[in-house]
Amino acid sequence: MAQDSMKQILTMLSTALKREEEKWMPCSYSASMAQDDVINALDRRRVVKWFMTLNQEFGFYPEALFMSVAILDHFLNSVKVKPKYLKCVAVTCFYLGAKATEEDEHVPSTRELVQTTGCGCSISEVHRMELCILDKFNWDLRLSTPLNFLHAFHGLVMHMFPDLLCGFPPMSLSQHLHQLTFVLQQCLLHHQLAGFSPSVLALALLSLDLEDFSPSWSSAIVELQKLGEIEHEDVFLCKKVVLQCLNCEVSLSFVDGVPVLLEWMALKQPVDGDDDIYDDIKRLYREEAADSAQSRLPATCGSQAARVASSKSLPKPTLAG
C-alpha cells in the first residue's frame, strides 16, 4: 500500500515537472502606476483578491483558484492587454480555471457567471474572450500550479521522512497540508512570487515550514531538490522573497547559508477540525474523518482555510494528462 502511494506521488511530481517545463514562463508586472495603458502589479493583486472572493462564493476547491491565477499570469505575459479589458479577461480566466479543475456539475453557466460576478461583461463577450484565451493556449490548459507541487512534495516528505514531524500539538496530515495551502494562497497575491516557478515556490514554502520546528529539515529539502531537479539558490532566494511578501521578519545572520527565521509563527493558527478539509487531500493520505486523529503531526503555518464551495457553453479544452 505504501509503495503504491509513493509511486502515485512520484508520478504526480513527474507529470507536474513535465508540464512546468513545457508551459511555465516567468511573469513580471510593473510596480509603477505611472502608465495608464499597462496592467500593473496592483491591478493583478486586485484581480487575485477578486478570484479569492469568487472562489468562496462559488464553493470551488483551491485548485480552481490556483489554476485561474496561472491562466491569468500566462495570458497577461503573452498578450499585451489594455486595462479596460482586464475585467473581461479576469472573469474568463476564472471561468476557465473552474472548468479545468471542478466537476462539470459544479461549474456555473456563462449566464450565471456573468450575473453572479457582476463583471459588467455580456455573455457573448465572455464567450469571445474564452475562445481567444483558449486559442493562445492551443486549447490545452494542463498547467502546473504551486499547489500541484505542494501536494507532491508534502506527500513525499511524509513517505520518505515519516518521523520528521513529531513532538508538537497533534494535527493530521490533511490538516497540515490544509494550512500550508492557505499560506500558499496568500503568496498568490504577490506579483514578485510570479517570477518563481511553481515548483520552486512550493518547495520554498515547505522548507520554511519544516525548518521552523525540525532540526533535520535540510535532509528532506535536499532530497526534494534532487527529485525536482531544483537549484538550491533558487529555493534560497524564493524563501527570502516569500518572507518579505508575507511580512515575516528574518534575521541578518545565517546558519549554513540559510536565514534564521524569527516570525514565521505569526502565520500559525490551529485547525479546529476536519470538516473544512477537502476530500482530495484526505484521499492523498487515505484519511477518513472518523480516524484522522490516528495520523498526527504538529501544527505549523497558516490559518484555517475552508473549502469555500452549470453546464458549459463551450467545448472543454484538453485537461487530462
Sign of the CA dihedral running 61, 191, 206, 300: negative
In contact, 245 and 192? CB cutoff 8 Å? yes
| Residues paired with 250 in a beta bridge | 261
Q: Does residue 196 register a pLDDT over 90? A: yes
Instruction: Give me the pLDDT at residue 142, please.
Output: 92
Q: Which three cell numbers stand for residue 256?
A: 549554513
Q: Does pLDDT of 117 surpass 60?
A: yes
Tell me the per-residue pLDDT of 270-290, one tens digit each, with 9 for 90 and over.
Answer: 455 555 555 666 666 665 433
Within 10 A of 276 (CB to CB), how many other CB atoms are there?
A: 14
| Residue 321, pLDDT score | 38
Whether the per-residue pLDDT at 96 is higher than 80: the answer is yes
Is this model's pTM higher than 0.85 or not?
no
Distance CA 183, CA 287 (A): 22
Looking at residue 3, its pLDDT comes to 74
Contacts of 4 (CB under 8 A, 6+ apart): none
In angstroms and rounded to an integer, the radius of gyration of the C-alpha atoms of the chain is 20
pLDDT, mean of residues 246-253:
48
SS3 for the chain is CHHHHHHHHHHHHHHHHHHHHHHCCCCCCCCCCCCCCCCCHHHHHHHHHHHHHHHHHHCCCHHHHHHHHHHHHHHHCCCCCCHHHHHHHHHHHHHHHHHHHCCHHHCCCHHHHHHHHCCCCCHHHHHHHHHHHHHHCCCECCCCCHHHHHHHHHHHHHHHCCCCCCCCCCCCHHHHHHHHHHHHHHHCCCHHHHHCCHHHHHHHHHHHHHHCCCCCHHHHHHHHHHHHCCCHHHHHHHHHHHHHHCCCCEEEEEECCEEEECCHHHHCCCCCCCCCCCHHHHHHCCCCHHHHHHCCCCCCCCCCCCCCCCCCCCCCCECCC
Give the model's pLDDT for residue 29: 93
Residue 259: beta bridge partners? Answer: 254
What are 254's strand-pairing partners? Answer: 259
Q: What is the pLDDT of residue 254?
A: 40
> Mean pLDDT over all residues of the chain?
81
Residues in CB range of 156: below 8 A, 6 or more apart: 6, 9, 10, 13, 223, 224, 227
Which residue type sits at 105? E
Half-sphere exposure at residue 1, Cβ-oriented, CA atoms within 13 angstroms: 3
The pLDDT-based confidence of 158 (bands split at 50, 70, 90) is: confident
Give the torsion sign (CA, 242, 254, 160, 163).
Answer: negative
pLDDT of residue 93: 98
> According to the model, what pLDDT value does residue 13 have?
96
pLDDT higher than 90, residue 86: yes
> What's the rounded mean pLDDT across residues 108-113?
97
Q: What average pLDDT does this structure show over 211-234?
A: 89
